Amino acid sequence: MKRSRPFAIGVATALVLGASTIFARGTFESNLSSRLEAITKFTKVVNTVEDYYVDPLTIEEIINKAISGLLSNLDAHSAYLDKKHYKELQIQTQGEFGGLGITVGMRDGALTVIAPLEGTPADRAGLKAGDIILKIGDKSTLDMTLDEAVNLMRGKPGTKIKLTIFRKGEPKPFVVEIVRDIIKVDSVYAKHIIDDSVLYLRITNFDKKVVKDVKKFLKQNRQAKGIILDLRNNPGGLLDQAVQLSDLFIDKGVIVSQKGRIESENRVYKAHKAGTLKDIPLVVLVNAGSASASEIVSGALQDHKRAVIAGEKTFGKGSVQVILPITDDEAIKLTIARYYLPSGRTIQAKGITPDVIVYPGKVE
């Protein structure tokens, strides 16, 4: 005896009611048949899972898993945000949160440390850019989404968590125990080096105050004959801060472009001549922990031949995500565009290759 199919009936009803809209738009006329076939196939799979899967699942659970699987298979950054994760995303932390002080990303399907933030529990525990996290507690990160991993690592300040780490060059994985803490990070640090003639600027992440702080240090150090901009282990942050920082040193032309299939979301960010420090010698330090906004800055300066980029190849995170609500308390995070440097090259999965390769060494 076959059970009733509210899901299939609902899909069919929606198709019938929406058919006039589809034909009126004209966009889907040529492939309406293939869309119907695809939806029929999907409905059959849903019904089969509902009937035969070893554990009972509600229709909502099946659909949520299907949505999650669809998005996670698009790329490492697209994801389904259920009620819990969407609510967590909406919580305003005002710069403070209980965590490890670590930025992670997916590289070749592995949960990888992009960078530990300086002075945080992860930094003190010795985590390094490029470390692969095999387990969070007793849970394997294999097939775990990025959002799931991040949420597992968060927790109340003072609580402990164990990470199983694989590090290139080490004979076997090892376990690191880290105590969660409230993360407070000063984004910009400055000092003089080489007989006070060179201004060293360390930027740990691109928050909303970065350009304001950099301008303050530049104003206080007008006598500097050169600048070292250290973006190592900087995982990125706000796009507008990356653009404005680049604009301080580039007097004309494109800084970065944002391109995707949605015309209204495409952007071209250009430099402005006013206030540009176009003559002072500039060196930018990067490594595998430099990502996103850091790569926009270093890539733009490199393409304009405005700075010498030194260090290691960067991470390669150059895509744009937006949060799109699908119900009042659920949403999807979807990649809608990629960043392109002035030369037209993309950052995504390629990174920035420095002009001068410098690998970290050990002091004996």
CA-closest candidate to residue 275, choices 220, 219, 192: 219
| Neighbour-count burial of 289, counting CB atoms closer than 10 A to its CB (0-12 exposed, 13-18 middle, 19+ buried) | buried
Q: Please tell me the distance from the alpha carbon of residue 36 to that of residue 346, in angstroms, as a whole number.
A: 36
Annotate 160-196 with three-state secondary structure: EEEEEEECCCCCCCEEEEEECEECCCCCEEEEEECCC
Q: Residue 2, class by beta-carbon neighbours within 10 Å (0-12 exposed, 13-18 middle, 19+ buried)?
A: exposed
Collapsed DSSP state (helix, strand, coil) of residue 105? strand
Which residues participate in catalysis according to the annotation? 292, 303, 317
Instruction: Kindly calculate the radius of gyration of the chain based on its CA atoms and give it in whole angstroms.
Output: 24
Yes or no: say if 113 and 131 are a contact pair by the CB < 8 Å rule.
yes
Length of the chain (residues): 364
Spell out where the chain has E strands: 79-81, 98-99, 102-107, 110-116, 132-136, 139-140, 160-166, 174-179, 181-182, 188-193, 198-203, 226-230, 254-260, 267-270, 282-286, 308-311, 319-325, 331-340, 356-357
- Cα 255 off chain centre by: 20
Q: How far is CA 130 from the centre of its chain?
A: 15
User: Cα–Cα distances in Å, from 278 out to 149, 226, 230?
Assistant: 42, 12, 18
